[in-house]
């Protein structure tokens, strides 16, 4: 008898441009895990609304992210890919979870504090309740495993607490989701400010390599990457710019930091940057080729959205009906 696969769920917010940091830190892991789990990958457009968006750009970006997920190797037949807003149960469960979440819990979220600092002209309540929507994303599918970056650990902790609280207040309903946090070394830093994480939403585009950047741009961005005023190549945490380039090199060549460091020992920064730039271009080429094929095929993309949403809604409805029944809402008469 085959055992039922565990449910894996993750998502990326469609803001900015998917970058090589997202690929190494998230998408590549999803691709590696997808066969072992019943996987759901979200494009969390409702989360993206917590920051002011240009409507036409948001719409295009969601479709582009869908095509990029597939181009990166997510198999849309074996897994479920959905745009969050296509499954209204996310928003419905969020409301119920809001009533179980304490103000103080959200007030402690470090990401909320950071985001309100960077976004001081628009500290909307969506930004504040963002982690509850994320908990709903996870719990609505009864997810067991959630791959996330270290910056999302606190949010995942809330999801776990809410699952436990609901189970305790009513009866066993939700599995307690486990985080899956990739090992150290998978963290790619900003090219211009190497002490912060590479971010797809960085306003300075020189900080990241987008998956869809042209070869010219990739070469330019890597050549401009900040290093330091030394000249020797070694791996040293106190030289974060250089360390980041060596890390990136080791990952893209499937080597180790030691092998990359040995390889460039005695060479110049310019040689490292040139080679790394070319490797990056070649690494992204198959993803870009695949992307260019599917982004034009609206019929194909819509078909994936339809089948993904159908599968997802079926599961989401089941969970939500259970929740509504347990908390005492009247079932709609049939």
- Catalytic residue numbers read 115, 197, 200
140 or 323: whose CB is closer to ligand TRP?
A: 140
Closer CB to ligand TRP, residue 45 or residue 213?
45
- Would you say 48 or 243 has its CB closer to ligand TRP? 48
**Residues touching ligand TRP: how many (CB under 6 A)?**
13
Residue 48 vs residues 45, 113, 116: alpha-carbon distances, Å: 5, 17, 15
x/- track of binding to ligand TRP for residues 100-139 (CB under 6 A):
----------------------------------x--xx-
Residue number, 47 or 221, with CB nearest to ligand TRP: 47
Measured from the CB of residue 149, what is the shortest distance to ligand TRP in angstroms? 6
CB of 130 to ligand TRP, least distance (A): 7
Instruction: Please name the residues in contact with 65: beta carbons below 8 A apart, sequence gap of 6 or more.
Output: 12, 14, 18, 43
**Rounded to whole angstroms, how far apart are CA atoms 91 and 83?**
13
Near ligand TRP in 6-25, by CB under 6 A: 9-11, 13
Which backbone phi and psi does 101 adopt, to 5 degrees?
Answer: -105, 135
CB of 244 to ligand TRP, least distance (A): 20
**Which residue number, 29 or 244, has a Cβ lying nearer to ligand TRP?**
29
Render 260-302 in DSSP notation, one character per residue: HHHHHTT--HHHHHHHHHHHHHHHHHHHHHHHHHHHT-HHHHH
CA distance 25 to 181: 9
Q: Which two tokens stand for residue 143?
A: 């997810």
Specify the residue, 8 or 305, whose C-beta has the smaller distance to ligand TRP: 8
Rounded-to-integer distance, Cα 260 and Cα 248, Å = 9
The distance of closest approach from Cβ of residue 76 to ligand TRP in the complex, given in angstroms and rounded to an integer, is 18
Site string for ligand TRP, 141-170 (x = CB under 6 A): -----x-x---x--x---------------
Question: Token pair for residue 204?
Answer: 């300075």
Q: How far is the CB of 122 from ligand TRP (least distance, A)?
A: 17
Name the minimum Å distance from CB 155 to ligand TRP. 6
Helix (H) or strand (E) segment spanning residue 188: none
Q: Which is nearer to ligand TRP, 10 or 80 (CB)?
A: 10
Residue 206 CB-density burial (10 A; 0-12 exposed, 13-18 middle, 19+ buried): middle
DSSP label of 4 = P
How many whole angstroms separate alpha carbon 95 and alpha carbon 91?
7
* Residue 321: both structure tokens together: 């009906």
DSSP string, 107-127: HT-HHHHHHHHHTTT---HHH
Cβ contacts of 204 within 8 Å, gap of 6 or more: 192
- Supply the minimum distance, in Å, between the C-beta of residue 133 and ligand TRP: 7
Distance CA 11, CA 319 (A): 19
Q: Is 43 among the residues that bind ligand TRP (CB under 6 A)?
A: no
Residues in contact with ligand TRP by CB under 6 A are: 9-11, 13, 44, 47, 134, 137-138, 146, 148, 152, 155
């Amino acid at each position: 008898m085959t055992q039922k696969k565990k449910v894996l769920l993750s998502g990326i917010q469609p803001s900015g441009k998917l970058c090589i940091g997202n690929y190494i830190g998230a998408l590549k892991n999803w691709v590696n895990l997808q066969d072992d789990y019943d996987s759901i990958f979200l494009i969390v457009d409702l989360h993206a609304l917590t920051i002011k968006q240009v409507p036409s750009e948001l719409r295009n970006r969601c479709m582009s992210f869908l095509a990029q997920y597939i181009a990166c190797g997510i198999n849309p037949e074996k897994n479920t890919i959905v745009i969050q807003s296509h499954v209204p149960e996310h928003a419905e469960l969020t409301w119920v979870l809001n009533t179980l979440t304490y103000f103080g819990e959200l007030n402690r979220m470090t990401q909320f504090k950071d985001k309100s600092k960077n976004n001081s002209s628009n500290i909307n309540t969506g930004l504040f309740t963002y982690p509850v929507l994320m908990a709903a994303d996870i719990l609505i599918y009864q997810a067991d495993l959630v791959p996330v970056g270290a910056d999302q650990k606190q949010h995942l902790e809330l999801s776990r607490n809410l699952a436990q609280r609901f189970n305790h207040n009513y009866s066993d309903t939700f599995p307690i989701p486990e985080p899956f946090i990739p090992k150290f070394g998978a963290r790619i830093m900003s090219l211009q400010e190497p002490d912060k994480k590479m971010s797809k939403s960085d306003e300075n585009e020189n900080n990241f390599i987008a998956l869809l950047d042209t070869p010219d741009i990739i070469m330019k961005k890597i050549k401009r990457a900040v290093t330091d005023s030394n000249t020797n190549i070694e791996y040293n945490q106190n030289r974060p710019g250089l360390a980041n380039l060596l890390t990136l090199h080791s990952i893209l060549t499937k080597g180790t930091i030691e092998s990359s460091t040995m390889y460039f020992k005695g060479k110049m920064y310019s040689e490292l940057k040139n080679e790394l730039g070319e490797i990056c271009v070649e690494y992204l080429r198959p993803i870009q080729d695949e992307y260019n094929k599917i982004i034009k095929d609206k019929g194909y993309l819509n078909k994936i959205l339809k089948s993904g949403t159908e599968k997802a809604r079926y599961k989401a409805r089941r969970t939500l009906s259970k929740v509504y029944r347990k908390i005492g809402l009247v079932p709609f008469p049939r």
